[in-house]
Amino acid sequence: MSELLQFVLSGVTVGAIYAAVALGFTLIYNASGVANFAQGEFVVVGGMTAAALITAGVPVYIAGPLAVIAGMIVGIGLYKLAIKPAGKAPLVSLVIITIGSSIFLRGVMQIVFDKQIHRYEGFSGDEALRFLGATILPQSLWIIGGSIFVFALLAWFVGHTKAGRGIRATASNRLAAVLVGINTGRSMNLSFALSAAVGALAGVLATPVTFTTYDAGVLMALKGFSATMLGGVGNPFGALVGGFAIGLIEAMTAGYISSDYKDAAAFIVILAVLFVMPQGLFGRRTTERV
């Protein structure tokens, strides 16, 4: 029983990170219809920036927010310098632009930081807590709580603020949003900024547990996108559930079969689900009248 609980706790911790990345995917997709494959780089920007600042002697409660702000700046820059100039380019072109941006950001981080693996001490120390025979790091509680808090905050923001409703209107029909006076450019800027902030925050919270390096964003983006697909594209709750589900699948596979197959097992389950429900677990079926 304690062994199973240990795998569950490990899976929930990793799944919370994937859920945060998936929430970032969902934010940008809902606003622009684009899958941003540079989302994983925002996680690395947050983690690497926080690690560099903490190493330089900056307290973690200052380094963390500064790292999130750095992620937001990168997100806004990605929109203004790469996505916005593309204008009304085909969707596949925009996706390729995000992939190219991901490669470019990895190169920049390799130069600005280095190729080494980085981590720093957990916010509440590194002494494991015991629970029913299993152990969990205090930082894991920060990660899980942070993902759930971000989900709740984004749900409130999108549903109960003027800026959030502007993002929803832009996502629904950009032309109609312009006609009723909504600044769609500002809504897109805000979407990318929030998405990058969520990713950077995930990096800040996760680095003490998962460590980080300049090229860690590739796999993070794939797992986050997989969580988005599993939960249902465009559904924030689906992104949250999909992230936790992938984390649990990986943990169970690594624990009961082999860690060599944990990535493959997660993708196989996702493919199986999408064969049965192409819209994902919580996605809506859409029809188009022609």
> Sorting pLDDT into bands at 50, 70 and 90, what band is 287?
very low
Predicted pLDDT at 290: 37
> Sorting pLDDT into bands at 50, 70 and 90, what band is 74?
very high
Determine what percent of the chain is predicted with pLDDT higher than 90. 26
Predicted pLDDT at 269: 77
- Please compute the mean of the pLDDT values over residues 96-125 and round it to a whole number: 89
Least confident of 241-250, 252-261, 266-275: 266-275
- Please compute the mean of the pLDDT values over residues 184-213 and round it to a whole number: 88
Task: Say which residue, 217 or 132, is predicted with more confidence.
Answer: 217
What stretches of the chain adopt beta strand conformation (E)? Answer: 129-131, 134-136
> Sorting pLDDT into bands at 50, 70 and 90, what band is 65?
very high
Find the length of the chain. 290
Predicted pLDDT at 289: 39
> Sorting pLDDT into bands at 50, 70 and 90, what band is 283?
low
> Sorting pLDDT into bands at 50, 70 and 90, what band is 285?
low
What's the chain look like in SS3? CHHHHHHHHHHHHHHHHHHHHHHHHHHHHHHHCCCCCCHHHHHHHHHHHHHHHHHCCCCHHHHHHHHHHHHHHHHHHHHHHHHHHHCCCCHHHHHHHHHHHHHHHHHHHHHHCCCCCECCCCCCCCCCEEECCEEECHHHHHHHHHHHHHHHHHHHHHHHCHHHHHHHHHHHCHHHHHHCCCCHHHHHHHHHHHHHHHHHHHHHHHHHHHCECCCCHHHHHHHHHHHHHHHCCCCHHHHHHHHHHHHHHHHHHHHHCCHHHHHHHHHHHHHHHHHHCCCCCCCCCCCCCC
User: What does pLDDT average to over the chain?
Assistant: 85
Cα angle 17, 21, 24; round to 5? 145
d(CA 260, CA 253): 9
Q: Are 287 and 54 in contact (CB under 8 A)?
A: no
- Please compute the mean of the pLDDT values over residues 266-272 and round it to a whole number: 78
Q: Are 216 and 48 in contact (CB under 8 A)?
A: no
**Could you count the other beta carbons within 10 Å of the beta carbon of residue 31?**
24
Task: List pLDDT tens digits, range 3-32.
Answer: 888 888 888 999 999 999 999 888 888 777
Whether 179 has a pLDDT exceeding 80, the answer reads no
Q: Are 127 and 235 in contact (CB under 8 A)?
A: no
Task: List pLDDT tens digits, range 75-92.
Answer: 999 988 888 887 777 778
Least confident of 23-27, 91-95, 169-173, 209-213: 169-173
Whether 49 has a pLDDT exceeding 70, the answer reads yes
Task: Say which residue, 242 or 168, is predicted with more confidence.
Answer: 242
- Please compute the mean of the pLDDT values over residues 183-196 and round it to a whole number: 84
Determine what percent of the chain is predicted with pLDDT higher than 70. 95
Predicted pLDDT at 284: 61
Predicted pLDDT at 288: 41
> Sorting pLDDT into bands at 50, 70 and 90, what band is 260?
confident
Task: Say which residue, 216 or 178, is predicted with more confidence.
Answer: 216
DSSP tag of 118: B
